[in-house]
Amino acid sequence: MATTNLNIRIDKDIKEQADRIFSELGLNMTTAINMFLRTTIRENGIPFALKLDVPNEVTAAAIEEGRRIASDSSVKGYTNIEDLKAALEV
């Protein structure tokens, strides 16, 4: 397989941010670009989303609230669905 160089211009901050993400995914820039190009050819278009599983602000806040409630002994808990439904008047 013959190879060739690809020179592109990109904002320095964008490159650094992408490098950090690729590194967390176990990739380098060359491998990530090759994956993108090969999959683009196979799918005949922009092919995929490759991203870290990071919750958005709303989800992160809900997770934190759940953790806080779970560790608060003053919060009423339920051991069965019938008691929960009764408390909710459902």
Show the tokens assigned to 69.
């409630």
Q: Does the residue 7 lie in any domain?
A: no
Domain residue limits at 31: 12-43
Q: What is the pLDDT of residue 69?
A: 92
- The count of structural domains within the chain is 2
pTM (global) more than 0.75: no
In the chain, which ranges are continuous DSSP H helix? Answer: 12-24, 29-43, 57-71, 81-88
Residues of the chain predicted below pLDDT 50: none
Q: What is the pLDDT of residue 84?
A: 92
Q: Does the residue 22 lie in any domain?
A: yes
Q: Does the residue 39 lie in any domain?
A: yes
Q: Does the residue 78 lie in any domain?
A: yes
